[in-house]
Structure 1
Amino acid sequence: MKLSSTLAVVPLTARLAQAALDVDAVTEKYFGNDAPWYHDRIPLFESSDSEITEVYYYRWNVFRTHQRDVGTKYGYITTEFIDNVGWQTQPWASNNCAAIFHLSEGRWCRDPRFKQDHATFMYSADSNPRQYSESLADGVWRNYLVDGNPELAISLLDDMQRVYNEWVGDHYDETKGLFWIEPLADATEYTIASIDASGGYDGFGGGQAFRPTINTYQYANARAIAKIAALKGGLDDVVAEYNNRADAIKETLQRDLWNSTFEHFIDRFFVNNENVTYWDFIRGRELAGIVPWAHDLPDDDAKFGEAWKHVLSSDQLGGPFGLRTVEPSYEYYMRVWRYEGTQTECHWNGPSWPYQTTQVLTSLANVLDHYPNSSSLVNVGDYTRLLKQYANQHYNKHFDNILDIEENYDPDTGEPIVGLGRSHHYFHSGYVDLILSGFVGIRPRADDVLEVNPLADPSSISYFRAERILYHGQEIAVQWDATGDRYGEAGLRVEVGGQVVASSDKLERLTVDIARSTVSVSRPFDQAIQLQADITPPIVNTSVANYDINRLHDVFDGRIWFWTQDTIANGLDTPEGSTTEEWVSTEFGAAVTISRAEIAFFANEEKGLDVPASYKLQVLSGEWTDVADATYDEPLANGITNVKWTGVSTESVRILVTPKEGKKVRLVELKVFTE
């Protein structure tokens, strides 16, 4: 077994790890009755910082919330918004804007299905992979670095090239050798470029610019395509073409988008009008200028490292409650132009935005890990402090500090800004990946090496442990205990297959050879999905009088969550005060063989909601009959209730529920499967 020269060599005569976390207790603590969903799907983590730990498990709940089952064609996709929004790709409710975070978080899920299904869908004809700027190819490559299985990446290689060339066709300026984009299509309406291009009148649209963001994304995509082509083999021309493209973007971005006055990568205008001039720099620093490091674009040059002092400065991008998207010195800092009713809409002229906070922490992890000449102004203390600041944003000041991440925040107060119904538990950022690849320090690689370089600050973090992590198909764990008081042994430990394989008495880089293994994937398909309320088949119906069609649709929309906010209530309720048996049915449109169901009931004492006193399933065969030889779980609140029966071919199925006295039943989801 190969160890790095800096390691304390560990005898390989089976030092067994002794500090394994209790998966049953941990998942029950954080997920209650829904623990079975997480039990075999997530890595476990704990640290001496309770907030960092608690947010880690909350973010897995966010991940679970946003896995939308879209049925037999694609399986699962990952959503950004908790429910439908007007600008999603219909009927799937997809949006490519935050796909890089969905894939980066998903690469650590022990069940590969979600990332595989989502990536496949995003490159399909039913998706819109160019609705916003994107780094999808890089996201797929990052998944390969963790799971070590090239199958997904190779299967999407042709589509990656197609999408890349579409960007070249309509967003590339050959005279400058750079990509340009409207800030709105870069997910950042109301930025300096768009506001100034409007003359300070607005800034929602317009302001097309050569931005560090889209050029970095296309650099990363080109590099990923080249690597995947090399992995596939026999594609030397493709490898050369895309490496050359990446090299050209890197050179041009560093030369032309670096502003020596601002010591930052910043936009140049593509638009030319009465307010701004083509190729002029914008007039200030934006947090977006740090994005190049998130994809390892810049050279390791101390000149570029100067940008980090502006990120840390409390007068510039480093707000006391979150990183600012634009500095307070900008004329239109935090000005609001757009509202929904009286509620502020999204603006990126100063608010702290988890999307870019994730990018900055990813960038900082890269700089601290492998940019020795660029990292003189930052250290692991900065990483842990910014991670802690970001974790704290998840505690919502508008809702008694419950865990509920929203779209954006006031960097000077920590208050959520947008606060619309769509904003709750918003999946537009990453956190799990920041913990595992940054704080814990697992640095995914393409070769057969496990590399660990933790960025936890030893002056403030006395212990952490991350385990049940699948890396290249092997179970690994990383543990730090400054004193030995927590786990019985001081120092840093790396485990593979339950054995300690590398160690050190301090937090430092450790490497060890690791074999590869393929993780199997199970893909049952829900037969009862209704993608939107107005789509038939299936035809859904209920005995509940005067029902809301959208709440009935919830039962078959492939979304499961158990959050308590009324603005995101999910499912159909039985009538107030009724103990009459009620039913919900779906007609498939063709005969389907079904043999089991998964049912989600929501319960909340304050809202008068509880599981039913009784329930059953029936199929239509001339008349409604109970499913045969059925095994029914006791109805479970805020988790999954399972039913199995002898397989039957039918065109319709229904669930019947009888509420308890004085309680309503909320049916969140009914899913039925062939096997």
Structure 2
Amino acid sequence: MRLVVLLASACLPFLSWAGTTDETGAVSGVATPTAAARDVATILPQAAIARRYFGHDAPWYERNIPFFDSPDAKTNQVYYYRWEVFRAHIRAVGAQGNVFTEFLQDMTWDRDPYSTLNDSAIFPIYDGRWLRDRSYLDDWISYLWTGGGNNRHFSESIADATYRRYEVDGDAAFATRFLPSMEQTYNLWDDHYDFDKHLYWIEPLLDATEYSIASIDASGGKDGFRGGDAFRPSINSYMFANARAISRLAALAGDEATASRYAAKAADLRRHVEQDLWSAELGHFIDRYKVDNAFVHYWNPVGGRELAGYTPWTFGLVDDVKYATAWAHALKADQLRGPYGLRTAEPSYRHYMQQYRYDEATGLRECQWNGPVWPFQTTQALIGLANLLNNAEQAVITRSDYAALLKQYTDLHYVDGHPDIQEDYDPATGKPIVGLPRSHHYYHSAYDDLIITGLVGIRPRADHVLEVNPLLPRDASDPNAMAWFALENAPYHGHLVSVLYDRDGSHYHRGAGLQVFIDGRKVASSPVLARLTAPIEQAPLPPVTRDVDLAVNLTGDGFPQPSASVNGDDRKALLHSIDGRMWFFPEIQEGWTTQGAADKPQWYALDFGTPTTIASSQIHFLDDATHFAAPASYAIQYFRDGAWHAVGSEPAAKPLANGVNALSWTPVTARRFRVLFTPPAHPRAVRLLEWKLYASAPVHQRIGPTQRP
């Protein structure tokens, strides 16, 4: 897979670059094409941008992500930061490939031993469908459907997300193989279905929204963590979307009976959500109670508007424009539009922002959904608004409003001046509410997908049409307008798509207006921002290749078993260096360290229990600018005949931190391997974030991003 992508980009005609990046991260300068390449979309200096945002870890991003550029410094920074968040939450789990975590660290409520949660499962799919390496999502989706990852711990829309991924890569054979599991899971939700009302109900906690209006009021205002079963727009929109996805995938597989059955289920849910969950009084989709007690009664509506009322648009359930009046509430400061983000409940609610729950260890406020801003639901609302603006003519909310809300969400990513997406925020201050150690770089939302499908406007479709409709104001005088932007090399239907907008042609010097490229060739253009379409055939997708990390030990039992020259009694730290997780964020640091060791060589070793063939290594060190740095040098050794021997290959360059130190050698079979360090200059120590070992050279080591056929 990586080989084909690299060859596709390598075959583009040469385009020289004479530009620079400025302090905003935006690109300036002049691209000078050769006479034979005037329509080739080599727009951005990707290597320079990758070095700016990712430092030593730049090669992974150069191989994988679409590159983005705009005049807004924060939008640029957060776009690239969110790709760091995506990468940080990839967890290698051995032969099963890779999964995605919601938190960087283990939580007591996540699923052992992988630390996954199904409520956040869709967001890596939304963002990751734009990655050129398809193995990550193939592994993740396979785990969700056949590895037990979708355990119905929370409500979910994973079948729909699987179909949304198919709309981008076009791999019908992969998406349809999970139909039996999708149907089985869908039918299990009958335990939350009211056959009289034709609607699904759920406890807000299990809808991943504890302390919602339904659960607080069902407790008489005394609590709200548990209880409050209700028919909610959220779970019913998820189930609508899952039914529609199953129907469409079944049609792809040639099963018309199943397609028809699930289309009927989706249509029935649409009818009953619109009929029963729309409140004419509130002008919004709302909950109705399933529970009946001293405080609330079955089928009565809740008494307030919540951001969850926009989920019908998130999943395309609403097909009547009359309901668009609900979006007026997202624009009013005394309703859902907070100064720093979209509130989850309005200030008129009598228990608005009342704090019920605190973390026992720190005393800090815990998660609630009675007003705080949540990136989770902000993402859903922005997807829903993009769908409305793309699909309906209405006068309630505009492209300018969309751009302003997206900008507000962008700003929310900053904590103390640095990107650090957290769980929830105070709408009056924009400050994180929870602020717990677990909260840093939290992955229960999307952002890059919003940039690609919303701001840039690539609208994924299952047919042979590429549609681009940037959701930016078309009036240049609008304060939310942008004069230019570019997205380069987004994978789509087996091709690479790029979109370029330059209002007057003065920024990129490639002509004025909007231009769309497929595999480097211009296929559509407009002198102004507009909806553009172009035919695009599905290109063959090469087989996905994956690298199996043999060093992973998720539980601490069995092999491989770690040991070390110092701090060997800290078993938790030893295991963190082989737990399949790796990130370079200094706010949460894990892994074995040489702290407290003498200024002499130190080692970290693995015992595989039986002779194991190893041919390459990836080592990740942290530099936090204070306590830890890369070692001065390192060597990899194996144990045989009572002595340690070099594997036969020395690092080609000085070890680096916050990136990948890759090394390959002629395969060696041994039971024990170790990495030997020469410490950095005193007083800093080495923090070994992760050590990965492979039976052969990983694909990206064999085929580098600069190699040509």
TM-score, normalised with respect to structure 2: 0.90
Question: Do structure 1's residue 404 and structure 2's residue 426 form an aligned pair?
Answer: no
Question: Do structure 1's residue 82 and structure 2's residue 104 form an aligned pair?
Answer: yes
Task: From the superposition, tell whether residues 18 and 249 of structure 1 become closer, same or farther in structure 2 (CA, over 3 Å).
Answer: closer
- In structure 1, distance between residues paired with 2:279 and 2:184: 33
Q: Is the 8 A contact 1:627 1:646 kept in 2?
A: no
Q: Is the 8 A contact 1:311 1:317 kept in 2?
A: yes
Give the structure 1 partner of residue 636 of structure 2. Answer: 617
Return 544-553 or 87-96, whichever deviates more: 544-553
- In structure 2, distance between residues paired with 1:129 and 1:450: 35
Give the structure 2 partner of residue 477 of structure 1. Answer: 498
Q: Which amino acid aligns with 2:162?
A: V
Give the structure 2 partner of residue 9 of structure 1. Answer: none
Deviation at 1:125, TM superposition (A): 4.0
Deviation at 1:522, TM superposition (A): 2.1
Deviation at 1:614, TM superposition (A): 2.1
Give the structure 2 partner of residue 94 of structure 1. Answer: 116
Give the structure 2 partner of residue 133 of structure 1. Answer: 155
Return 431-440 or 655-664, whichever deviates more: 655-664
Q: Is the 8 A contact 2:638 2:647 kept in 1?
A: no
Q: Is the 8 A contact 1:15 1:499 kept in 2?
A: no
CA shift digits 1:301-353 (9 cap, x unpaired): 32x11100011111000001000000000010001111113100000000000
Question: Do structure 1's residue 581 and structure 2's residue 604 form an aligned pair?
Answer: no
Q: Which amino acid aligns with 2:140?
A: H
Deviation at 1:615, TM superposition (A): 1.3
Q: CA RMSD in A?
A: 1.4
Question: Do structure 1's residue 104 and structure 2's residue 126 form an aligned pair?
Answer: yes
- In structure 2, distance between residues paired with 1:58 and 1:278: 45
Task: From the superposition, tell whether residues 590 and 376 of structure 1 become closer, same or farther in structure 2 (CA, over 3 Å).
Answer: farther
CA shift digits 1:339-387 (9 cap, x unpaired): 1131000000000000000000000000000022xx3111110110000
Equivalent residue in structure 1 for 2:305, among 273, 281, 285: 285
- In structure 2, distance between residues paired with 1:102 and 1:115: 8
Question: Do structure 1's residue 526 and structure 2's residue 546 form an aligned pair?
Answer: no
Task: From the superposition, tell whether residues 579 and 323 of structure 1 become closer, same or farther in structure 2 (CA, over 3 Å).
Answer: same
Q: Which amino acid aligns with 2:528?
A: K
Deviation at 1:519, TM superposition (A): 3.8
Question: Do structure 1's residue 232 and structure 2's residue 253 form an aligned pair?
Answer: yes
Q: Is the 8 A contact 2:614 2:668 kept in 1?
A: yes
CA shift digits 1:253-301 (9 cap, x unpaired): 1100001000110000111111110111011000000011011001223
Q: Is the 8 A contact 1:596 1:674 kept in 2?
A: yes
Deviation at 1:606, TM superposition (A): 2.0
CA shift digits 1:183-227 (9 cap, x unpaired): 000000000000000111100011011000001000000000011
Q: Which amino acid aligns with 2:562?
A: V
Deviation at 1:18, TM superposition (A): 5.7
Equivalent residue in structure 1 for 2:657, among 625, 629, 637: 637
Give the structure 1 partner of residue 27 of structure 2. Answer: none
Q: Which amino acid aligns with 2:243?
A: A
Deviation at 1:578, TM superposition (A): 2.2
Aligned residues: 650
Give the structure 2 partner of residue 395 of structure 1. Answer: 414
Equivalent residue in structure 2 for 1:245, among 261, 265, 281: 265
Please list, as runs of the form range in 1=range in 2, the aligned pairs for 1:436-585 lying within 5 A after superposition: 436-458=452-474, 459=478, 460-488=481-509, 489-520=511-542, 521-532=544-555, 534-545=556-567, 547-565=569-587, 568-576=588-596, 578-585=598-605
Give the structure 1 partner of residue 69 of structure 2. Answer: 46
- In structure 1, distance between residues paired with 2:76 and 2:619: 30
Percentage of pairs with the same residue: 45
Question: Do structure 1's residue 118 and structure 2's residue 136 form an aligned pair?
Answer: no
Q: Which amino acid aligns with 2:78?
A: V
Q: Is the 8 A contact 1:584 1:656 kept in 2?
A: yes
TM-score, normalised with respect to structure 1: 0.94
Q: Is the 8 A contact 1:19 1:487 kept in 2?
A: no
- For structure 2, the 5+ residue unaligned runs are 1-35, 697-709
> Which aligned segments of 4 or more residues in structure 1 are displaced greater than 6 angstroms?
none
SS of the residue aligned with 1:102? helix
- In structure 2, distance between residues paired with 1:624 and 1:317: 68
Give the structure 1 partner of residue 5 of structure 2. Answer: none
- In structure 2, distance between residues paired with 1:623 and 1:643: 24
Question: Do structure 1's residue 343 and structure 2's residue 347 form an aligned pair?
Answer: no
- In structure 2, distance between residues paired with 1:145 and 1:602: 38
Q: Is the 8 A contact 1:325 1:348 kept in 2?
A: yes
- In structure 1, distance between residues paired with 2:260 and 2:174: 22
Give the structure 2 partner of residue 626 of structure 1. Answer: 645
- In structure 2, distance between residues paired with 1:352 and 1:122: 28
Give the structure 2 partner of residue 263 of structure 1. Answer: 283
Q: Is the 8 A contact 2:41 2:521 kept in 1?
A: no
SS of the residue aligned with 1:180? strand
Deviation at 1:15, TM superposition (A): 5.0
Equivalent residue in structure 2 for 1:60, among 83, 88, 94: 83
Deviation at 1:622, TM superposition (A): 4.2
SS of the residue aligned with 1:167? helix
Q: Which amino acid aligns with 2:663?
A: V
CA shift digits 1:537-563 (9 cap, x unpaired): 332222213642222111101111111
- In structure 1, distance between residues paired with 2:504 and 2:648: 57
- In structure 1, distance between residues paired with 2:605 and 2:289: 56
